Amino acid sequence: MEELRLLVVRAQAGDLSAYGDIVKRLQDMAYGYAYSILGDFHLSEDAAQEAFIQAYRDLPALREPAAFSGWLRRIVFKCCDRMTRGKHIPTAPLSAAVSLAANNPDPVKTAEQRELRESVLAAVRTLPDREREVTTLFYIDGYSQKDIAEFLEIPATTVNNRLHTSRKRLKKGMIAMVKTTLKSSPLPNNFADVVVRRATSQEDLNQAAGLLSYTSQKRPEQFESLPNAKQAGVYVIGKEGVVYGAACFNECQFSIGSTILRAIRPNEIGAEAKGVPHPAFVRSCHGCFKLARQKGIHLSIVHGSQYDHALCGFVPCFYHPCATLPRERLKSVVTRATVRKVRDEAERRNGWVAFLQDPYATKIGGGCPGPITHVIEQGNVPVGYLGWKNSWVNDWADVTVQTREGSLAALKLMAKTTDAENISVVQSHMTMIAQVMLNLGGDYLLRRSCDLVGLDNEMVSIIDLPGLASDLAAEFHARFKSSALRGVKRSFSLEMNGATVGFVASAEGLAIVTKKQKVHRVLPRWIMTRLFMGYYSGNDVLNMGPIPCDRSDGKTPDDPNLDMKEVLMPETEAALFSAVFPKLWPCSWPDPDVWPWVIGKKHPMYQHEEKKTPEMKAEIDALRFPWIGY
């Protein structure tokens, strides 16, 4: 411990490398202690990292360097306490998302190993608190009883006694399994290096500007001062004065069905244009997703062009629709509805909420959320809202409207205020306004998003499956209650990269749980994301035949015998699966590079195709659907 005391003294004097050595020395101790409290490896990693960040900030206040170990333990406890009071839903670490199919074990063996692991961890959780602490710390990374005693601030003899008692409580032959199991979820290798924080110095900001090259060129004012950077959501990855990555972290509102959700939509990820993928890009992604998870955000939405071809793990989950109607056709249309400008901010907000809650309205695009500019009324009762503006392609409307009369009123306003020959509205064919345009003789195109990585496209990925399912609990319950299945008892569960969500139907309704059910299916991230978004329905997944379950190394598939699997369910569970996941036709407003493709013209296979070398195109093709890991 004398060596640790000297490291603390150096760190208090400003030696960042010394503090890095402290983290490497005690990270598993902090992680194991957090696990003994939280019982969740993923949250324990967060708690340990948060504790080290807080300890670094408070280091000048530590009077006795030799007491660092016990002081750190108290900080870890406070971090765990905050998480416990925050009622976080247990999640699986995203580091488990990257797996190579070449090493895939037999599915039955995998299930047996998973069940054994869970039984061992359950046995550890049954130990009394004090015994669970020392058992976890002793077996997670081989810390000595003396080190544990220093950390817990108790005599070494007490540690020995508690270990002896816990061994007697655990079943015979389980001790070796406890050691193996606790070591099976280690901290990532870069734990000591990846620290997410706001830029805290101008030096940090200058380094961040070099990584966020597009933003720093287009909006240099965001890097002129720390307050400006804070307002722009600029975060850096790394130690103070040493920036390994950076990102512009931004929250947005999004919806699935009629449920309004929080999502992360970063403006730019550091080093996104410097390779496929550049290490700084990967670190920057890690930081963004970590911040999202800490803030309780379970879904990330990005623009394919922002990430050029380095983006991994996100999939297009949207259709690009366009309804077009000659402006001349609207001259003689008569409607009893009227359109007026919004009167105040409250009406704008009401309009935006109505737009988000419309399950078929176009939700994502370069300009969303757009301002709501008009209220559509029928008999002085609002029947819709309109956001009408000029854009780079055509006049553009964000619109949600419930009636035919209201749709006609909105279209007449558009016709009066544009010189364009045609009125074009980016809306699903399921919306009232698109159906009215078709009835008036308009044209309609609905294009699927392209699965090629790197195109200028809307892309999305689930960050936290149990968290997102919990957010959508009321949505799932409503879908179940409106189906013919209400009152029937049945259940199934889905798994994605180690995280499980169960759907349990009963006479009371539908419950969302994190426990594995008898009918349990493992889905790849790209299928699960599309299923939750409504791009695929439950019926689509059940009927699409064998699907590639593993594309983590870019091969399609790696092993046909293992990877090409059909999703099959017994009839009763399949009915519930289909009721819970209907097709929602999610639609996205396309950016300029995508727009010609939407209206029927040829779309390039690669963005900035002429600038890509054959070698880079080969790298792009190999990416496919992999997840970057976390």
Residues in CB range of 116: below 8 A, 6 or more apart: 177
318-327, 412-421, 614-623 — which is least confidently predicted? 614-623
**Average pLDDT estimate for 5-17:** 82
Which band of pLDDT confidence, cut at 50, 70 and 90, is reported for residue 621? Answer: low
Judge if 428 and 507 occupy the same domain: no
8-state DSSP, 517: P
For residues 17 and 145, state if they share a domain.
yes
Residue 98 binned pLDDT confidence (cut-offs 50, 70, 90): very low
Claim to verify: residue 337 and residue 377 sit in the same structural domain:
yes
Residue 431 forms part of a structural domain: yes
Residue 413 shares a structural domain with residue 479: no
H/E/C letters for each residue in 404-418? HHHHHHHHHHHHHCC
Assess if residue 499 is contained within a domain: yes
pLDDT exceeds cutoff 80 at 225: yes
What pLDDT is attached to residue 455? Answer: 63
Residues 502, 438 share a domain: no
Is the confidence at residue 615, as pLDDT, over 90?
Answer: no
pLDDT band at 163 (very low <50, low <70, confident <90, very high): confident
**Which residues share a beta bridge with 260?**
255
Same domain, 500 and 542: yes
Query: How do residues 14-40 score in pLDDT, each as one tens digit?
Result: 776 788 788 888 888 888 888 888 887
CATH number at residue 81: 1.10.1740.10
**pLDDT tens, residue by residue, 181-224:** 666 667 766 676 666 777 778 888 999 999 998 889 999 999 99
Residues of the domain holding 505: 465-580
Segment 481-518, tens digit of pLDDT: 999 887 778 999 999 877 899 999 998 899 999 889 99
Domain boundary among 182, 207, 223: 182
Which amino acid, 36? S
pLDDT at 137: 76
One domain for residues 18 and 92: yes
**Domain total in the chain:** 3
Q: Which of 283-287, 558-562, 612-616 has the lowest mean pLDDT?
A: 558-562
Residue after which a domain boundary falls, among 125, 148, 182:
182
7 domain residue, yes or no: yes
- The model's pLDDT over 567-611, given as tens digits with 9 standing for 90+, comes to 999 999 999 999 999 999 888 877 666 677 777 777 666 666 777
Whether 531 and 383 share a structural domain? no
For residue 422, CA distances in Å to 369, 394, 400, 428 come to 24, 9, 20, 18
Residue 168 lies in a domain: yes
Residue 271 pLDDT: 81
Q: How confident is the model at residue 547 (pLDDT cuts 50, 70, 90)?
A: confident
> Predicted confidence band at 141 (pLDDT cuts at 50, 70, 90)?
low
Query: What CATH number is attached to the domain comprising 561?
Result: 3.30.1050
Q: Does some domain include residue 191? A: no
Q: Are residues 147 and 174 in the same domain?
A: yes
Tell me the two tokens of residue 589. Answer: 């407003």
For residues 173 and 169, give the distance between their C-alpha atoms in angstroms, rounded to a whole number: 12
- Count other Cβ atoms within 10 Å, centred on residue 17: 12
Asked if the model's pLDDT at residue 433 lies above 90, the reply is yes
Q: pLDDT band at 476, cuts 50/70/90? A: very high
Residues 22 and 134 in one domain: yes
| Residues 552 and 622 sit within 8 Å (Cβ to Cβ) | no
Does 17 fall in a domain?
A: yes
- The rounded distance, in Å, linking the Cα atoms of 110 and 122 is 18
- Could you tell me if residue 533 is inside a domain? yes
| Shared-domain flag, residues 503 and 360 | no
Pick 364 or 565 by higher pLDDT: 565
Report pLDDT for 542. 96
- CATH number of the domain encompassing residue 368: 3.40.630.30
The answer to whether the CB of 359 falls within 8 A of the CB of 258 is yes
Rounded to an integer, the average pLDDT of 132-149 is 78
What average pLDDT does the structure give for the chain? 80
Average pLDDT (266-275) is 78
Are both 11 and 154 inside the same structural domain?
yes
Closest CA to 323 of 249, 199, 423: 423
Helix (H) / strand (E) element for 398: namely strand 395-401
Could you list the beta-strand ranges (E) of 402-489: 422-425, 443-448, 458-462
DSSP state of 515: S
Cβ atoms of 624 and 454 within 8 Å: the answer is no
Is 231 inside any structural domain? no
Residue 565 to residue 546: CA distance in whole angstroms: 4
